[in-house]
Structure 1
């Protein structure tokens, strides 16, 4: 209730109540309402710029933002795991796979090369969490590039492995006549006495004594390039081109089981022991060529002989006896 004001009237010698003017009264009411409105506006603005009061929409956005931050943290941990696994694969790729297949390791700078040039993350700037989003996006890009590099490397390793498998299958690695069919290993690679002239001459292969008709097997995968008796001294003979610079020759055969151009695999029956050509008795004369040069066949029996059998063969092959051709 507003105060009642009085004034002293000297004419009546008494106090009289002051009656406020209506205009002033309305002005005061207006000022009060204006002040109240201004105060209320200031309070509302203050509350809107603090966390004391939030609208449902703002609360929903805050929850969504916290959820995104949590998802980024989980993504960060998953990327760490991916990076660890990728680093392990890269280490094995360089130090095991590529080393085994004699391929050069992939340089580290090539695996982890950055992204130069223009700012590819400019569209992610200007947000509250721009740094986190940009860093995460960059890590994902780097991981993606590393995966592409590693994928291409594994494709190359697969190709090398297939080539290595083909090479291992092609190398003449078994004895062309089975041990069960052998009478004896008559003569080895080296200087030997010629059975016809008795002169000491170089014997370029190994002679395996066996009865006529004994099976002869391909010592490695390859292609038949010759199966004829048109080479001096060899009689009926077969030549197999194994690729990778390897070629094998099987001489003094009684018959063939293959024809020119035919592809054979290690262990396939290709012919039979005989004594055709310049031969003193039924046997197989076997030669191995590498890049056009004759080499000692005894180094290529690891696929069919035990350690003891190989030791015995080596002993007989080193004896300077008389060859059979």
Structure 2
């Protein structure tokens, strides 16, 4: 844009004369233009900085989002790992240590030191301090539980070496081979009776299997009953000693006699549909000191962890009681 030029009429010579700005006006103009340039530059810088961001800041924002995503994934994985460790601890206290006749690991020992929250105060100055403290607490908890559990298993291993006879007499395999199982028909617990329609406690597990499927002793013991029993039909009952008894019901054939000694894995019978039964299957019970136990806790020698987890799911979801 061209610069403005001003003229003033001079009546003395009847001419228009050019008007030049004073020095003060020129200085003021320069200052005004400089100030406006600074203001506009500052405004542009603010827009770029706060709303658009520099390339470096954009990269930092993306890296921060990725870091938050990774922390969220880590948090969920830690929760899952702690859940698994809690399940292992429950099994250790309520099954393995019961079998070995030893005391449970106390809660104070499993979680020693975690009542002191001051141990994480040094993290308060960090960005996202609560998130970092929570993750650190969970990692410490997992480390502690792993350490305690390893020590517990070491102790149980020593006990097992000195209690080999007891272990041989504790039910620890499936009564039907995995390859012969069609499905888990019913789990342990309160179920609806298939004959009478009433709610009752189901004291064992029902394994759906074809008639004539081999049935095996789940631990060493002595056959104390191999006969017809009301409701059970053809029943084999084995006393394993140390307070353990197992029952195998609705059989089609006996392969053992009362008074016979058996070893874990010996063939004792074939499945059938005798007694109060709605189809061919095996009803299997485990009793300890006369009280019924959940047989799902007594399969730890002949199946993989994956098969065991699947068996638990089937037992929890099985609702078709067959006896």
TM-score by length of 1: 0.50
Match of 1:290 among 266, 288, 299: 288
Describe how 1:225-244 pairs up with structure 2 within 5 A.
225-229=224-228, 231-244=229-242
Moved over 4 A (4+): 160-163
Asked whether 1:215 is paired with 2:223, we answer: no
Q: Please give the per-residue CA displacement for 1:206-239, whole angstroms capped at 9, x wherever unaligned.
A: 000100000000000000000000x220000100
Structural RMSD (CA):
2.0
Aligned to 1:206: 205
**Residues 29-178 of structure 1 mapped to structure 2, 5 A cutoff:** 164-178=163-177
Distance 1:296 1:161 in 2: 22
Higher Rg: 1
Task: State the aligned residue count.
Answer: 169
Cα drift, residue 305 of structure 1: 1.4
**Unaligned residue ranges in structure 2 (runs of 5+):** 1-99, 103-158
1:185-204 equivalent positions in 2, closer than 5 A: 185-204=184-203
Residue 199 and residue 320 in structure 1: after superposition, are their counterparts in 2 closer, same or farther (change >3 A)? Answer: farther
Instruction: Determine the C-alpha separation between the residues in 2 that align with 1:292 and 1:258.
Output: 23
After alignment, is 238-247 or 306-315 more displaced?
306-315
CA distance in 1, matches of 2:253, 2:316: 30
Deviation, 1:191, is 1.1
Task: Determine which of 264, 267, 290 is the counterpart of 2:265.
Answer: 267
Contact residue 235 and residue 249 of structure 2 kept, 8 A: yes
Relative distance call for 1:199 and 1:264 in structure 2 (3 A) is same
- Distance change >3 Å, CA 101–CA 276, structure 1 → 2: closer
Residue deviations 1:220-260 (CA, integer Å, cap 9, x gap): 0000000000x220000100000000000000000100001
- Contact 1:194/1:322, CA 8 A, preserved across alignment: no
- Name the SS of the counterpart of 1:202 in structure 2: strand
Cα distance between partner residues in 2 of 1:101 and 1:239: 24
Q: Which runs of 5+ in 1 are unaligned?
A: 1-99, 103-159
Q: What TM-score, normalized to structure 2?
A: 0.50
Answer yes or no: is the 8 Å Cα contact 1:221–1:265 preserved in 2: yes
CA distance, structure 2, for counterparts of residue 252 and residue 262 of structure 1: 20
Q: Deviations over 1:99-148 (max 9, x none)?
A: x997xxxxxxxxxxxxxxxxxxxxxxxxxxxxxxxxxxxxxxxxxxxxxx
